[in-house]
Amino acid sequence: MTFSDIPKFKLKEYSKAPELSSKTIAHKPVIIVGSGPVGLAAALDLAQKGHEVTILTAFDFIALGSKAICFAKQSLDIFDRLGIGERIIEKGVIWNIGKLFWKDQTNPVFQFDMLPVTNQKNPGFVNIQQYYVEDYLVDALEDMDNVDIRWGHSISDIEVRNDGARLDVDTRDGSYQIDADYVLACDGFRSKIRDSMGLDFEGRIFEDNFLIADIKFKGKAAEQRPSERWFWFDPPFCPGGTALLHKQPDDVWRLDFQLGWDIDREAVLKPENVEPYVKGMLGDDIEFEREWYSVYTFQCRRMNRFVHGPVIFVGDSAHLVSPFGARGANGGLSDAENIAWKLDLVMRGIAPRSLIESYNDERIMGADENIRNSSRSTDFMSPKNEQSLAFRNAVLELSNDYSFARPFINSGRLSTPTPYHDSPLSTVDNDEWDGGPKPGFPCVDAPVNDNEDSNWLLEKLGNDFKLLQFGGKAPESDLDVINIPIDSLAAQRYDAHHGATYLIRPDQVVAARWKEAQADDINGAYQRAIGAA
Amino acid sequence: MDKFNDTVNISGHDDIYQMIVDLHADGNEEKSQKINAKLIIAMINQIGSEQIVKEIIEMVRLNEEKYNPRSSTH
């Protein structure tokens, strides 16, 4: 298979499968299919937890092109845990502010801050090209002895068996079969595995076209532009449509224009037709070079189930959203983090296999929230009938003069972690709380002020279950205890200034909490959180 | 809990009714739709309670269904 039409960021070395010169079929504990950020993050997470990981990817390169660029705080927290967070922050463009413009007005109608709670380690968002994220993940994976990345190995079929799954793999040297206890299908929205298993998506398809122009834009005009998310409704350079501007590393800017449904795709992409849009947005006198132009449409859909026996769908293979809100890659990374710790405990024999079913429950909650938000944003941006157009324009006209209407403006509700309400893994509160993250909610970061090297709470969590003990002494258990002083900002954020104990999952989600914990409480909550209760 | 008041809660009904009709005096359909939308958005904010807004929307839905039922065969 060749991918001559795909632009390449970095070539990777194909290697011949040992199975081609062997008569027996190899059996692996876990195979990850796909080399996007989601598959690579899941692979690195499992590898760091000590598992033998095999990655199969049809590509023998890291692809260039216009893909994910906005990585949200919760993804940065995941990258921190995986050890590549600092590289991403260093390379990326940090932003917290979003501005909304209307028509030809130069002053924003509205602006918002993505990090309303300050004093956290990571910013609200970092913009960085997807290929850098992939490159850093691959670098970390290549450093590990228990990881086998097979570039240029594409799946042609899958057979689900009683004890796992058997994959048919095509390479330039021939085809082979390989077995696995578990397969993580991280092979994107055109997932070969999903097709081979006769599975499909359910939901809405939006008939609208958007032009993406990734351009190199340097000089004074570029330097004067702040790193903020700028969004336009009905601007003169894209009448009746919307437009979006983001800054990326290496002087690359992402420009996005809504074109409507009836367009000639080939004509739109011609440089002479893209140029008026670019200059309309950034100014007639600017100079720029094309990095990559593309036209996209989108869908807001998901699979009915993400877990199919030993085959688990993760990221775009399981669900699709519109790009407004940065919920694609960020949602996928949350999937990867969720399945990684569960599969780890199941493969180590600590948790029952049924724990994997909770991935289905929790990440369907995540996908539904992302689909709901991104569908609503799309309906605001592209009203589907005269009445919704009237409401949309009424909101914008009022917002220009009155603050009360501004929160109705929806240019994409940006990705935040999904709370797992009523998760089967959570233990319901028994005590009265005045705040702090509830069971099923993600941990909030805070400075710990304990004079150790790492001053951030989230840096102390992750990779395994932890007990957060605020003041006092934690009851006897086998879990790692993190002691936090009760006069810290962390204790305030966890409503723990009079003492408290939190049980935290490996994905930094609260499993249970007590004002005065007993050893039995902790053990019961832990058993429930690993699916054993 | 906030509750929608479905009894008389204001006076000057004729004046208010006339003001609304006057707002729509020029008869432009598109403009009227937007004017109504602005009224609704401003009044929602003034009501200040998601619960009451929900109850009003539900009341309107039921009332509309009662007098203009959708045909059961689509």
Tens digit of each residue's pLDDT (9 = 90 or more) over A118-133: 889 999 999 999 999 9
Residue among B33, B42, B45 whose CB faces A390 most closely? B33
Do residues A181 and A304 share a domain?
yes
Angle (nearest 5°) at CA A418 between A413 and A421: 130
A350 pLDDT above the threshold of 60:
yes
Chain B closest-CA separation from residue A380 CA (Å): 14
Whether A306 maps to a domain, the answer reads yes
Residues A355 and A445 in one domain: no
Q: Which burial class, exposed, middle or buried, applies to A466 when counting CB atoms under 10 A from its CB (0-12, 13-18, 19+)?
A: buried
Domain count, chain A: 2
Percentage of chain B lying above the pLDDT 90 cut = 86
Are residues A391 and B41, on separate chains, in Cβ contact within 8 Å?
Answer: yes
- What confidence tens digit (pLDDT) does each residue in A273-303 have? 999 999 999 999 899 999 999 999 888 999 9
CB contact under 8 A, A405 and B41: yes
Say if the ipTM goes beyond 0.90.
yes
Dist. CA A205–CA A197, nearest whole Å: 22
Give the distance from residue B23's alpha carbon to the nearest chain A alpha carbon, in angstroms: 15
Q: Which residue has the tokens 């950034």?
A: A282
CB distance A404–B42 less than 8 Å?
yes
Over range A133-152, report the average pLDDT.
Answer: 98
Tell me which residue range forms the domain holding A50.
8-91+126-202+300-369
Q: Do B41 and A408 touch (CB under 8 A)?
A: yes
**Position A395 in a domain:** no
Q: Are residues A56 and A142 in the same domain?
A: yes
Counted across chains A and B, CB pairs separated by less than 8 A come out at 33
Looking at A250-354, list the stretches that DSSP marks H as alpha helix, in order from N- to C-terminal side.
Answer: 265-268, 271-282, 328-347
DSSP A202-239: EEEEEEEEEEEEEEEE-SHHHHTS-S-EEEEES-TTST
Nearest to B37 among A390, A402, A404 (CB): A390
Torsional sign, CA A483, A489, A495, A497: positive
CB contact under 8 A, A390 and B34: yes
Provide mean pLDDT across the span B10-35.
Answer: 95
Q: What is the pLDDT of residues A167-216, one digit of tens each?
A: 999 999 999 999 999 999 999 999 999 999 999 998 888 888 999 999 99
Note the Cα A287 to chain centre separation in Å: 33
Query: A214 - beta bridge partners?
Result: A254, A292
Ramachandran assignment for A237, one of left (phi > 0), alpha (psi -120 to 50 degrees), beta (any other): alpha
Judge whether A183 lies within some domain.
yes
Q: Which residues of B touch A (CB under 8 A)?
A: 30, 33-38, 40-42, 45
- Residues sharing a CB contact under 8 Å with residue B42, sequence separation 6 or more, in sequence order: A398, A402, A404, A405
Q: Which two tokens stand for residue A419?
A: 């709370």
Give the start-to-end residue ranges of the domains of chain B. 29-69
pLDDT mean across residues, chain A: 94
CATH number of the domain residue A189 falls in: 3.50.50.60
**Quick one: A74 and A149 in the same domain?**
yes
Q: A468: which 2 tokens?
A: 């957060």
Nearest CA to A39 out of A375, A309, A298, A337 is that of: A337
List the alpha helices (DSSP H) in A25-114: 37-48, 73-82, 85-91
Q: Are A405 and B45 inside 8 Å of each other by CB?
A: yes
Residue B74: per-residue pLDDT: 47
Q: What is the DSSP letter of A421?
A: T
* C-beta neighbour count of A207 within 10 angstroms: 10
8 A C-beta contact, residue A385 and residue A391: no
Give the best residue of A398, A406, A408, A410 to mutate against chain B (max B CB count within 10 A): A398
Q: Are residues A34 and A136 in the same domain?
A: yes
Q: Higher-confidence residue: A426 or A219?
A: A426
pLDDT digits (tens, 9 = 90+) for A48-93: 999 999 999 999 999 998 799 999 999 999 999 999 999 999 999 9
Confirm whether A131 is domain-assigned: yes
What is d(CA A414, CA A392) in angstroms, rounded to the nearest whole number? Answer: 19
**Residue B62 banded pLDDT, cuts 50, 70, 90:** very high
